[in-house]
Amino acid sequence: MTVTRLEVRQPAPGPGRPQRSQQPKRPQQAQRPQQAGPRQREREAPVPPVPPVPPAKPLSRTARRAAAEDAKLLAAIRMLLSNPSLFPRFLFLAFGFAAITSLGVALAGAVPLPYGFHYAVIPAYTAMLLIGLRYPAWGKRALIGLVAGMIATGVYDILRLGLMLAGLWGDPIPSIGQLALNDPNAEWYWGYVWRFVGNGGGMGLAFAMLPWRGVKLGIAYGSAVCTGLVVLLYFWPVAQQHFFALTPATAAGGMAGHWVYGAVLGWLTARWLPPVGRRRRPARDRRDRRDDAWAEARPREATVLVAVPDEPVVTGHGAIAGGPDLVLPGGRLSSDELYAVKCALQQQPRAHGFASDNWTLRRVALVVERATGVRGWQPAELLGLLEALDLDLHLRGQHDQGREPAAPHAARTTLVS
């Protein structure tokens, strides 16, 4: 038997015995690892095997859904707290109830009305004036709510006048001015100033800060206010001495009057501040109805109705580079809405409850709808919005043929400085 190559370790040669090599001499590079130092030998030492990590326990469908909903809630809270419009909205909403709250506390016998007038109502309206000057857009919105509330109060008083003539209740309004000025001989009109500017106008101002409008929501708002009045008169009977006696007739009349107030307030604010989420498209003319092919080829135009008035002045981290407003083919978005959209899209899709971290136009449309309340976004509008916000989301399944070439340029050039 012939052995062509045998690698064995030769023993040390004895004295007088020459060493013979039975294998060909290897290159010096192959012998370098044998001449390595102790450090390299430590590196080449065999690593003890790591025990395998047991696979994670698969989550149930309920657990996955709960995690996704929690992620969406946390993302919404972060976006809400980072919204620069939260500060003026909250202050206007709280200060709008300063007059009615001071009156209720005074009728309950807790704090005299002159203290509430000097230390709550006057500072609240002064603060609202300064906030309106600091944020002109929100100041205009508050003024709209104040005027709408005063008009709704006037319409309510027409019904109240009929109830007074019918003998169901008296007129407690002049006594409000006497309580506020701490003067029993104060003129009657001071009570009506409190009623129109403080109670009705202030609550109308607070209603204008809410994102919901309409006659039905206005009636619900008026019902809540009247419920608070009835609770006050029922649990603190001393209030009936200064206001009116609580009977089924007066309770029904008060609820009817507050329904009228809420309906008028909701109608006016919905007319002057269009509700969020409604898209109004022009009706097709006769030529469109006759020629369906031409109507489909014609680009659709829409008007996006937003809740924040035009020309807002936003500074600080809420300012979008290029100007406060963005005019898209579908309408106008305010700077607050643009900032909310940018903050939402800068997060990972999983933060919004999606299964993966890949953005698609459908996912972008859902996130933008949550941030602005506007539905029915078109692909060209979404692409123009991303172009204006300078966001590259690496959209999956994006087709260039569906993108209008002039839309991004138009969206970028319509930013108002």
| 3-class DSSP assignment, residue 408 | helix
Is pLDDT of 147 > 90?
yes
- 261 and 379 belong to one structural domain: no
d(CA 234, CA 232): 6
The answer to whether residue 50 is domain-embedded is no
> Which ranges constitute the DSSP H helices of 185-291?
189-193, 201-208, 215-235, 238-242, 248-272, 286-290
Please calculate the CA angle 17-20-21 and round it to the nearest 5 degrees. 155
Residue 139 parent element (H or E)? helix 136-165
- 377 and 257 belong to one structural domain: no
Is residue 121 a contact partner of residue 99, using CB atoms and an 8 Å limit? yes
Half-sphere exposure for 394 (CA within 13 Å, toward CB): 4
Half-sphere exposure for 91 (CA within 13 Å, toward CB): 19
**Please, which residues have CB within 8 angstroms of residue 19's CB and are 6 or more apart in sequence?**
10, 13
According to the model, what pLDDT value does residue 277 have? 47
Is pLDDT of 77 > 70?
yes
The answer to whether residue 42 is domain-embedded is no
- 261 and 362 belong to one structural domain: no
DSSP symbol at 34 = G
Is pLDDT of 379 > 50?
yes
According to the model, what pLDDT value does residue 35 have? 53
Total number of domains in the chain: 2
Question: 369 vs 75, 212, 345, 380, 400, CA distance in Å?
Answer: 15, 16, 12, 15, 23
- 152 and 266 belong to one structural domain: yes
Q: Which of 224, 239, 272 is the last residue of a domain?
A: 272
Is pLDDT of 285 > 70?
no
The answer to whether residue 109 is domain-embedded is yes
Task: Give percent of the chain above pLDDT 70.
Answer: 67
Quickly state the pLDDT bin for 225 (edges 50, 70, 90): very high
Q: Which of 272, 304, 321 is the last residue of a domain?
A: 272
- 301 and 364 belong to one structural domain: yes
According to the model, what pLDDT value does residue 229 have? 93
| 3-class DSSP assignment, residue 279 | strand
Please calculate the CA angle 341-333-86 and round it to the nearest 5 degrees. 60
Question: 185 vs 106, 179, 361, CA distance in Å?
Answer: 19, 10, 68
According to the model, what pLDDT value does residue 60 have? 79
> 20, 17, 22: which is closest to 6 by C-alpha?
22
| Tokens matching residue 189 | 């009109």
The answer to whether residue 20 is domain-embedded is no
Query: How would you classify the pairing of strands 279-280 and 326-328?
Result: unpaired
Higher per-residue confidence, 24 vs 366: 366
Residue range 214-224, pLDDT digits in tens? 999 999 999 99
What residues make up the domain containing 335? 280-284+291-413
Residue range 165-211, pLDDT digits in tens? 887 778 889 999 999 999 999 999 999 999 999 999 999 999 999 98
- 321 and 263 belong to one structural domain: no
Quickly state the pLDDT bin for 26 (edges 50, 70, 90): low
- 301 and 259 belong to one structural domain: no
According to the model, what pLDDT value does residue 45 have? 59
Q: Which long-range CB contacts under 8 A does 71-79 form with residues at least 24 apart?
A: 71/350, 71/351, 71/352, 71/353, 72/351, 72/352, 72/353, 74/351, 75/344, 75/347, 75/351, 75/352, 76/370, 78/343, 79/340, 79/343, 79/344, 79/371
Main-chain dihedrals φ then ψ at residue 332, nearest 5 degrees: -125, 140
Q: How many CB atoms lie within 10 A of CB 172?
A: 15
DSSP symbol at 352 = G
Span 28-54, mean pLDDT?
57
DSSP symbol at 35 = G
Residue range 150-160, pLDDT digits in tens? 999 999 999 88
Spatial strand order in the sheet of 279-280: 279-280, 303-304, 331-333, 326-328
Q: Considering only 118-127, 265-274, 326-335, which range has the smallest mean pLDDT?
A: 326-335
- 268 and 383 belong to one structural domain: no
According to the model, what pLDDT value does residue 213 have? 86
Residue range 380-399, pLDDT digits in tens? 888 888 888 888 888 876 54
According to the model, what pLDDT value does residue 327 have? 52
Residue 333 parent element (H or E)? strand 331-333
Quickly state the pLDDT bin for 131 (edges 50, 70, 90): very high
- 265 and 327 belong to one structural domain: no
The answer to whether residue 66 is domain-embedded is no
The answer to whether residue 57 is domain-embedded is no
- 358 and 246 belong to one structural domain: no
- 297 and 165 belong to one structural domain: no
Enter the pTM of the model: 0.57
Q: Largest Cα–Cα distance in the chain? A: 142
Quickly state the pLDDT bin for 405 (edges 50, 70, 90): very low
Burial class (CB in 10 A: 0-12, 13-18, 19+), 22: exposed
d(CA 126, CA 9): 99
According to the model, what pLDDT value does residue 217 have? 94
| Tokens matching residue 77 | 């809270």
Residue-wise burial string across 112-134, b where 16 or more C-beta atoms lie within 10 A, e elsewhere: ebeebbeebbeebbeebeebbee
Q: Which of 219, 243, 272 is the last residue of a domain?
A: 272
According to the model, what pLDDT value does residue 46 have? 65
Is residue 80 a contact partner of residue 313, using CB atoms and an 8 Å limit? no
The answer to whether residue 393 is domain-embedded is yes
- 295 and 268 belong to one structural domain: no
List residues bridging with 331 in a β-sheet. 304, 328
d(CA 129, CA 121): 12
d(CA 386, CA 411): 10
Residue 303 parent element (H or E)? strand 303-304
The answer to whether residue 55 is domain-embedded is no
